[in-house]
Amino acid sequence: MSDLSTLKLFATQPHPCSYLDGQEATTVFVDPEANIDPLLYTQLSQLGFRRSGAHLYRPQCLRCQACVSCRIPVKLFTPNRTQRRCLQHNRDLSLHIAANINTLEHYNLYSRYIESRHQDGDMYPPTEDQYKAFLTSEWGITQFIEFGLDGRLIGVSVCDQLGDGLSAVYTFYDANEEHRSLGKFAILAQIEKAKDLGLDYLYLGYWIKECEKMNYKIQYRPLELLVNRRWMRLN
């Protein structure tokens, strides 16, 4: 089994940043041949790595440090007024943990979400192969939280279970239910799931101060940011 001391990393060539105009990005990937287990995955997450499909990566840009890893200490989290309203508005939803998301119903929901919300992104146009490769891995312990309304699937939140927390991978939902703020609700649901499992954190990926679409992440307090390889808390 691989460990941190022997792990090989590979860096991409600089390429246009997906989040900040005029910036170049460099991404570091863990050796795809490495044997990843839950302990190593947890250690890498604590160092700011993220999973996309079977790959673990981290930004490592030469001239920019805007991408900051963030996580919520779930046992200290208290919802604010807006988040309490979101929970109240979605009290009619049923939550269920699915063993997998390999059904046509799941894929169709994902496909409609990408086509309606992310036609400018890397995942457009959606395909079944890309869907499975992006959201699942052979070595991760992945949780699929389904949101149901009157027997109808309206959302899925995908997260990985680590040794110290959950790592939010992706959430997709029915765009016709946008008034429910299901993206916000998904984070609140994952916080509760982490608490139920006795875990300490919900890892939210990267926050970029100058990127408006990431502003929602700092609404969850307290929040911890990985700065100079140390987790610093914002209350």
**Using one digit for the tens of pLDDT, what is the confidence trace for 191-221?**
999 999 999 999 999 999 999 989 999 999 9
Residue 81 to residue 4: CA distance in whole angstroms: 42
User: What burial class does residue 98 get, using C-beta atoms within 10 Å of its C-beta: 0-12 exposed, 13-18 middle, 19+ buried?
Assistant: middle
Concatenating the DSSP letter of every residue in 70-111 gives EEEEGGG----HHHHHHHHHTTT-EEEEES---SHHHHHHHH
Set out the domains of the chain in order of their start, with CATH numbers: 9-67 (no CATH), 71-234 (3.40.630.30)
Which pair of structure tokens corresponds to residue 54?
A: 């079977």
Mean pLDDT, the chain, integer: 94
Print pLDDT tens along the chain (235 aa): 578 888 999 999 999 998 999 999 999 999 999 999 999 999 999 999 999 999 999 999 988 999 999 999 999 999 999 999 999 999 999 999 998 999 999 999 999 999 998 766 667 688 999 999 999 888 879 999 999 999 999 999 999 999 999 999 999 999 999 999 999 999 999 999 999 999 999 999 999 999 998 999 999 999 999 999 999 999 8
